[in-house]
Structures are given as C-alpha cells and as structure tokens.
Homo-oligomer: A and B are copies of this chain.
Amino acid sequence: MPVNLMATDPSQLFAVAGMRIGVAEAGVRKAGRKDVTVFLLDEGASVGGVFTQNRFCAAPVQVCRQHLRGGQPIGALVVNTGNANAGTGQAGLDHARQTCAALGAQLRLPAEAVLPFSTGVIMEPLPVERIVAALPAAIADAQPAHWARAAEAIMTTDTVPKAFSARATIGGAPVTVTGISKGAGMIRPNMATMLGFMGTDARIAPTLVNRLAAELAEASFNRVTVDGDTSTNDSFVVVATQKAGNAPIDSLDSPDGQALKALMLGVARQLAQAIVRDGEGATKFITIAVEGGKTVEECRKAAYAIAHSPLVKTAFFASDPNLGRILAAVGYAGIADLDQTGIDLYLDDVHVARRGGRHPGYREADGQRVMRQAEITVRVLLGRGTASDTVWTCDLSHEYVRINADYRS
C-alpha cells in the first residue's frame, strides 16, 4: 500500500499544448497490458534530459545521449515497459535504434529525432519486433489529454500511476507543467529517476532546457532513495513545447526563469516523492533532514547513510524507536572528523538525543508515538556548520523482500 498516495484524477491533469501521447499493447513481457507509450512533439519543441550515472547504463540511455548530443530536433519519445534493454550488448543498441527508426519512419522523422526509453527486467533480449508492431496503434491513440494513460502504461512494480500538473502565470501568460514518473525499486537515482517525463508549454531558450532538466533532477529525483540501487535505466526528460504566450525566458536566473523553475520543481518533487510513497513494500514516508553541517555534501552523506541503513529502515517498518541505529548510521557516513558529542537528533518534534547521548527528557513513549505515524521527519543536527540537505525515503518491509524475491515469476 503506497503511503498517502492516490492516483491523480485525470481531469486534474492539464494537457500541454504541442504534445500528444498515445499508448498500445505490444505484449513485451505479458499480454493484455499497455506497455508501449509514445510522446509526439510538435515542431519547435526543445528537449533536455539527464540520465543514470550507472556505468552499466542501458542501451536506450546510450542512444538517448547520442541523439540529444547530435543536435537533431527531437520529435518523439518512445517508452516500453517489461524489458530494460540493459546488459544486452551490441544487440541491445541495435534494437533501441531500430525502435527509433521505425517510429521515425511513421512520423517522417529521422531515427535521430526519436528518444528511446525502456524499463523492466535486465539482461533479456528486447522483443523489438513486437514493440515496432505496436507503434501504429500507439500513434493512432495519441491525444494531448493522455498523460494519465501514459502514467499507467509506464508502470512496472508501481501500484499507483504518478502524474502531477501545475499552472501559473509567468511572463504575462498562463504556463502549464505536467509530468509523470515511475519507480518503484532499484531507486537511488543518480542524475534522474527510473523514468520521469515532464512537459511544459513555456517559451524558453532551447539551450536552457538541458540545464533546467539537470537542476530539477538534482533537487527532486536525486534526493529520493528506496533501496540504494542506482538503476541502469534512470532517465528524466523535460520537453518545452514553446506554445505558451509568455515572454520568452532567456535565463533561469531571471524572475520568470526562477518562477518557471519553481513551478516545475513543485511537480518534479511530487513525482519524485510519489516514487518513494509507492516504493516497493513502503509503509512509511520518511523525510531525513540533516542540518548544521560544514558542507551540503556531508549532510547528504549522513542523510543517505540513514536512508540506506537496513537496520534503520526495518525499525521504521516496526514502528520501533530504536533510534540509536540512526546515530550509528551518521557515525559511519564517512564524515572523517565528526565529533559525536556535537550531535542532536529529533524525531518530528521529539528531542531524542542531545550532544551525542540520550536526551534526559526523552521518553520512549514519545518516540513510539512518532514512529507509529505514516509520515515521519528525522532531523539530525551535526553542530559543526550551517549547511543542510534533505532526502526522502521509505521503510524496509517484508513486502519489499517478497516483491523482489518474486519479481520475475
């Protein structure tokens, strides 16, 4: 059961002018489910993306990078679930390119104008013929209003489709942002989540879109973790269709640029946090805020050490205020000169540890009360500076083991 996450009512999702979305059944892994999605972009769209830093990155990630670097305007995206096309060698690269060529041919675009994405099982050959055969149906299905259908079609072990929208007046005109994402395991994005797609109709200098994607990912998808496994396929793509009436944005630091980024970051964080709320087996949504560090990096290290500790995660699952495990994780986070006697720990409003030891006023009943909640904030004060950072994670439950022990069966 996801933590405080319900599918967004499709009527609450705004279409993005200049983008049409279609889905189809290719039978990649299982019959009878929508497993291929296409995004068709009107001419003039600007596309930026960030991708996994896993050295064992999947074939479609390699092809995406090439096509984005190539400078050919991007006219379409194609996504399949059921197979990650990772660990597939040269054949995998060929399959990803064949998919691009087939979609391009139907849209009168070169293969290099198409970005491919895959998610699912690793090291199985991609059934490229079945995907190509499904493309005409996906194109025929394409509508601006189909974001919710796409959110559903890109799911793997997700239990809830993830889609969010926002709208604001920027540069004198209404600007729309809509995005979708999927998790739900192998989640410790390092540049981007498993898969995330955002569209905006904003007018923005095409050269800024790639940096916008990177900055959004850094403050959203790169701050969540489910199991610490950085996927081979993480991809996050931003499309700016340039269809809105706003005064063109030529700097991310201008007032309009900042307003657009804030609007998009709101959606990106919802998408990223939704992945954690629907993390495999998650029963709790945990915010880990580390403050008082010398650098943001050391705060992040400490936050991730807590977020990845199986002992901390199982304690959250059990609602057991075994909070020394949190301090132990801070201790091994790799902050070389950390002085334990400077550390304070709060669980929501409960002051648990002071200067490295149990707070004299701490009562286990108070810790217990917070631990029973579905949403918990862990606050660690390092007491050595003014930097801070925050990550979001979930607990480790029986269900995580069951899902991942059974994933392929």
Contact = CB atoms under 8 A, between A and B. Distances in A.
A175 interface: no
A331 interface: yes
Contacts of A397: 401
A324 interface: yes
Contacts of A325: 122, 186, 229
Q: What are the 5 A-B residue pairs with the smallest beta carbon separation, nearest first? A: A122-B324, A89-B357, A56-B331, A318-B405, A123-B324
B86 A332 contact: no
A63 to B, nearest CB: 14
A51 to B, nearest CB: 12
A69 interface: no
A396 B229 CA distance: 14
Interface residues of A, number: 71
A165 interface: no
Contact of A123 (B124, B230, B327): B327
A87 B123 contact: no
Interface of A: 53-57, 84, 86-92, 121-125, 185-186, 188, 190, 227-232, 308-311, 314-315, 317-318, 320, 322-325, 327-332, 335-336, 338-341, 343, 353, 355-358, 396-398, 400-402, 404-409
B407 A396 contact: no
20 contacts: A53-B332, A56-B327, A56-B331, A56-B332, A56-B343, A87-B324, A87-B328, A89-B356, A122-B324, A123-B323, A123-B358, A125-B358, A186-B325, A228-B310, A229-B328, A231-B328, A311-B404, A315-B405, A317-B405, A318-B405
Chain copies in the assembled complex = 2
The secondary structure that dominates the A interface is: loop
A340 B54 CA distance: 10
Contact of A57 (B84, B125, B331, B353): B331
B332 A190 contact: yes
Contact of A315 (B330, B335, B404): B404
Nearest to A122: B324
Nearest to A331: B56
B317 A353 contact: no
